[in-house]
A and B are shown apart, each in its own frame.
Chain A
Amino acid sequence: MNGFDFDVAHLFAGGLVLVSFMMLYQDRLYALLNIFALHAIVLALSVGWQAYIQDAPHLYITTGIAIIFKGIVIPVALHRIIQRLGIHREIETVVGIGPTMLLGIGLVTMSMVVMLRVTVEADRLAREDTAMALSVFLLGLLMMVTRRNAVSQVIGFLSLENGLILAATGAKGMPLVVEMSVAFSILVAFIVIGIFLFRIRERFDTVNLHALDRFRGDQQ
């Protein structure tokens, strides 16, 4: 594949990692939702570009899902949920933002070193995409671990899933990518809407997970 195609793919993949860092930086919930919408759009651009250069039209469906479902529907839905539940809108972190970002850089470095070493035989684009995808995955995991608010944990999980879709589309010719992304989206939709809206709403005033800790059954 020629240089320009690769450069643009590199641009989008790098942009995805950058937006993951931007999500780690946020300390307000609405801003986080907006940045997540941006994350979904960058993913859609990346997948769309892959569909174009790999000549794989079924990936356009994944692009559509990314834009519509993750870029629009989920941020809007979470926005409404936050408003109706009156959730505390500042994000409390377990460690400060500074150490979190440093940890994030460490994770990105590690994932690049590991993936580049391991995928020596694969083609350039796949190698780069899996390295970036693992970085986005680990950054999403970091976000889930260092946040106390349930909404930001869900956002972390969604960004982690975006990384996986990046990896799946980077692997040339992988079948069932569309099915897998649909399956993941269904999982998230059910969980977010089902558990969140109808169940937690009736029980909690805050979605701060320390409140949930009171009901940990571990001591039984």
Chain B
Amino acid sequence: MAVIRDFAIQGGQMLLVLLLAPLLTGFVRKVKARLLRRQGPSVIQPYRDLARLLHKDVVLADNASWLFRVTPYLIFATTWVAAALVPTFATGLMFSWTADLIAIAALLAAVRFFLALAGMDVGTSFGGIGSSREVMIASLAEPAMLMIVFTLALVAKSTQLSTISTVMLSTQVGLRVSLGLVLVGLIIVAIAENARVPVDNPATHLELTMVHEAMILEYSGRHLAVIELAASLKLLLYVSLIACVFAPWGLAVAPVGPGGHLLGVATYLGKLAIGGFLLALFETMIAKMRVFRVPTFLGGALMLGLLGTLLLFMSRSL
């Protein structure tokens, strides 16, 4: 009985993230439009886009290999698994022992790898540009992410997300400079990974400014639908990650009834809304960076992570 219930809750989380991802993307677009004094598309427009794309034919280039056809499903599956592992409304779920930060980082790295390969697969120049820029950004974002993971692991003495959230909820953790630095670093990494302004513009198709869009330029039909859904899931993943580590209030901690879970879901929806709003606000306020400035920007995140680790080491050894 307990096993079935745990299965149900874990399955519920998986379904929840899948359903909420396009909603988050739509919400962010709506808020951005409103901030720019436009009406903007409806919040459920991404669902309609997905449905439309699923009905369309796939147009494949002649020289597209098996990799090109397989990649969309691959990245969708991997991103869905990673998103489902991050605690959204409850900690201590059935598969939470696999929800290791390093594992999640590895899953996302696999996604990026295949996407970069697929971008280069057909041999167009746009795809090549996108892939090379993506890898350049990744070469700095990955170490920054790892530094952030180190710092969090030092504070919580584990890399498991459930444990980290529980530790952050408790009062052991005081006012810490390192955590502040790590938060800023994580936000920068999240922006870079999700191809958001100022690193990349998700709404553009200009050669000068594309990174993510350039890699998926050749996709159409159901392939494109699946990739778009995966991108939305990635955004949801990062927002949930930041929320569960730095704003863990409302998370249902292990032995709690359905009321606790409902409360968890409600607070989670609230956190998503706030996160989406802040993202839209940030994107509207700031201009996109020139591509050669992006490494400096990400280098800043790396420095913040390093500094956070150093400061933590120092206060430990005092």
Contacts and interface: CB of A to CB of B under 8 A. Distances in A.
Interface in B255-313: 295-296, 299-300, 303-304, 306-307, 310-311, 313
A77 interface: no
From B300, B303, B315, residue with most partner A Cβ within 10 Å: B303
B176 interface: yes
State the main secondary structure of chain A at its contact with B.
helix
A105 B296 CA distance: 15
A14 to B, nearest CB: 4
Contact of A108 (B295, B307, B317): B307
Contacts of A109: 310
Nearest to A15: B177
Contacts of B174: 3-4, 7
Interface stretch (A48-56, A124-132, A193-201): A124-132
Contacts of B307: 17-18, 21, 105, 108
A10 B299 CA distance: 24
Contact of A128 (B175, B181, B304, B318): B318
Contacts of B175: 4, 7-8, 11
A3 B296 CA distance: 36
B59 interface: no
B300 A25 contact: yes
Contacts of B318: 116, 124, 127-128
Nearest to A17: B307
B289 to A, nearest CB: 13
A164 to B, nearest CB: 19
Contact of B317 (A8, A21, A105, A116): A116
**How big is chain A's contact interface, by range?**
20 to 34
Given A11-B175, A109-B310, A101 B303 contact: yes
A97 B296 contact: yes
Contacts, number: 56
B314 interface: yes
Contacts of B306: 105
A37 B318 CA distance: 30
Contacts of A105: 303, 306-307, 310
A115 to B, nearest CB: 9
Contact of A21 (B178, B303, B314, B315): B303
A112 interface: yes
Contacts of A128: 314-315, 318
Nearest to B314: A112
A4 B181 CA distance: 19
A217 interface: no
Nearest to B306: A105
B128 to A, nearest CB: 25
Contacts of A104: 303
B311 A98 contact: no
Nearest to A125: B318
A63 B313 CA distance: 29
22 contacts: A3-B174, A4-B174, A4-B175, A10-B311, A11-B176, A17-B307, A17-B311, A18-B177, A18-B181, A21-B303, A25-B300, A101-B300, A101-B303, A104-B303, A105-B303, A105-B310, A112-B313, A116-B314, A116-B317, A116-B318, A128-B314, A128-B318
